[in-house]
Amino acid sequence: MVGGQTNRNSNGVESQQQKAPPEGAAAGHRKTLPNKYVLICGLLASTNSILLGYDIGVMSGAILFIKENLKLTSVQEEILIGILNLCSLIGSLASGKTSDLIGRRYTIVLAAATFLIGAILMGLAPSFSFLLCGRIIAGIGVGYALMIAPVYTAELSPATTRGFLSSLPELFIVFGILLGYVVNYSLSGLPAHINWRLMLGLAAIPSILIGFAVIAMPESPRWLVLKGRIGEARRVLIKVSDSTEEAELRLGEITKAATSTSNWRGQGVWRELLWHPSRPVRRILVAAIGINFFMQASGNDAVIYYCPEVFKAAGIHKRKQLLGVNMIMGMTKTFFVLVSALNLDQFGRRPLLLLGSAGMTVSLVVLGLGSKVLEHSKSKPVWVIVVCIVAVCAYVSFFSIGLGPITWVYTSEIFPLRLRAQGSGLAISVNRLMSAVVSMTFLTISKKITFGGTFLVLAGIMVGGTVFFYLFMPETKGKSLEELATLFEDKKHDGIESGREMSEM
């Protein structure tokens, strides 16, 4: 059974399982508050995620003015919005190799610097093609940021608080979205040829701050061990642990896991991941790619990007009102992702993931039916509009409880050390590809089958997602990164363990 404590391997895994608990024990068994130094590092690394969140939030409002100023067609609108997500695929795929070569910390700096260039180009853009170029470059930076922030944080964190710390990127994405909404609302009164440029160009400010802040952070101790820099890794672990004893225990686990790859430089990873994966690696890959696929196939990014268009169709036409609804949605997301982050290490990943995906399904059904009513009603009943607004807020709330933060947590923690950076990059590249596909087709599909029909299709996708999570996603709370590999190794057969067995963990 996945997560079982009995060792069936002959390669020393049993001793790792016996050593893993002291990491949590040294921290105080039930400790829920992270070491202050770890918390600061996790916060600094995760601030990179503000860049994506800010773009999602600010673009949902800025596109109203860009369309007016640059006279865009609906196809150009979809391309402009979706190209950032599509190009973030490049950054995600490259980030694994980059972070293995130059380290996790400097990859964070690279992500911020790349987005900075893109933000400046977007803010100064005189035309559609110039603006598109800026979003392409910013997208590459976003791809780097999305992979490296949770991986760095997970590798720095103790098992007892890793769920909370690894979910911080989603918290900062949501905060960035809310910040984008606030900027939209604040600058909406300026002339249309000025306000959207300011909205997009202001993203350069957090990029600069992040680039300088990250330089003060330590390197990942697990990356240092891979490079044979044991003394530096020990010094970092002493800082991020609550005692020297705990640091030595963690160093022992990490060193043992990295023993066979002490001089490894990332070679052979793609072969092991894709061409000839072992049975455990195949299970890990299915779980990581699956959760990233459903995160974006759920339509979350598209709903946020095009929320003003949805509510315009529902009968809300004033821009201030549209942006005001956006702000309500942003505050709702921020609250619930914080609730989820604070409870991940107490309740576990799996229960919150299933709760969130089931809630998203119900919310999408209500939103789809409400939109259908409005589509066939000339009077646009106020109560139906209110129901749709509540359904959207419920949808983003359940996303923020489950898929939003937990996707980053699972992706950053289930891969073994030698595969973590490039495996996470591969999974997140699927995330970005799906985000691009959904964002670049949402309006076109909605025109064919209406917004109501689109939401009902997304509800069907989330039914499939909920079943997938039940069957394929094990519980990982409280286990060290080195111990997590055993969740996918202790098997008596080739099939992925059934949801019934997992629910008994």
- pLDDT, one tens digit per residue, over 181-215 is 888 888 877 887 888 899 888 888 888 887 788 77
Q: At what angle do helices 403-413 and 349-375 cross, to 10 degrees?
A: 140
Helices (H), 47-161: 50-70, 74-102, 104-124, 128-156
Question: Residues with Cβ < 8 Å from 452, sequence gap 6 or more?
Answer: 368, 369, 370, 371, 372, 374, 375
Question: Residues with Cβ < 8 Å from 78, sequence gap 6 or more?
Answer: 439, 440, 441, 442, 443, 444
12-66 pLDDT tens trace: 333 333 344 444 443 334 445 667 888 888 888 888 788 878 887 788 788 888 8
- Rg of the Cα atoms in the chain: 22
CATH number at residue 312: 1.20.1250.20
Confidence of residue 444 (pLDDT cuts 50, 70, 90): confident
Q: Which domain does 149 fall in, by range?
A: 18-503
Q: Which of 267, 284, 298, 279 is nearest to 367 (CA)?
A: 298
| pLDDT greater than 80 at residue 392 | yes
Give the residue carrying structure tokens 């050390």. Answer: 417
Of 26-35, 99-108, 284-293, 310-319, least confident by mean pLDDT is 26-35
Q: What angle do CA 98, 296, 356 make, to 5 degrees?
A: 115
pLDDT computed for residue 494 by the predictor: 40
Summarize the chain as % helix, strand, coil (round to 5): 80, 0, 20
70-99 pLDDT tens trace: 888 878 888 888 888 888 888 888 888 888
Enter the tokens of residue 407.
Answer: 């996707």
Better-predicted residue by pLDDT, 127 or 269: 127
Query: 198-228: string of b/e by CB count within 10 Å (b at 16+)?
Result: ebbbbbbebbeebbebbeebbbbbbbbbbbe
pLDDT computed for residue 363 by the predictor: 92
The secondary structure of 309-342 as a DSSP string is HHHHHHT---HHHHHHHHHHHHHHHHHHHHHHHH
Number of domains in the chain: 1
HEC states along 1-56?
CCCCCCCCCCCCHHHHHHHCHHHHHHCCCCCCCCCHHHHHHHHHHHHHHHHHHHHH
Give the residue carrying structure tokens 């000025």. Answer: 194
Q: Residue 11 domain-assigned?
A: no
pLDDT computed for residue 132 by the predictor: 92
Distance CA 404, CA 169 (A): 10
pLDDT computed for residue 287 by the predictor: 93
Q: Which pTM was predicted?
A: 0.73
Confidence of residue 401 (pLDDT cuts 50, 70, 90): very high
Could you give the dihedral angle defined by the CA atoms of residues 239, 245, 247 and 250, in that order, rounded to the nearest 10 degrees? -160
pLDDT computed for residue 290 by the predictor: 95
Q: Residue 164 domain-assigned?
A: yes
Helices (H), 414-478: 417-472
Better-predicted residue by pLDDT, 126 or 380: 126
Alpha-carbon distances of 463 from 86, 260, 393, 433, rounded to whole Å: 26, 42, 19, 21
pLDDT computed for residue 407 by the predictor: 92
Enter the tokens of residue 84.
Answer: 């950032």
- In the chain, pLDDT over 70 holds for what percent of residues? 84
| pLDDT greater than 90 at residue 412 | no
What integer best gives the mean pLDDT of the chain? 80
Confidence of residue 485 (pLDDT cuts 50, 70, 90): low
| pLDDT greater than 80 at residue 121 | yes
Using DSSP's 3-state secondary structure scheme, residue 382 falls into helix
Q: Residue 1 domain-assigned?
A: no
Q: Residue 127 domain-assigned?
A: yes
| pLDDT greater than 90 at residue 343 | no
315-340 pLDDT tens trace: 666 766 767 777 777 788 888 888 88
Q: Residue 5 domain-assigned?
A: no
Using DSSP's 3-state secondary structure scheme, residue 104 falls into helix
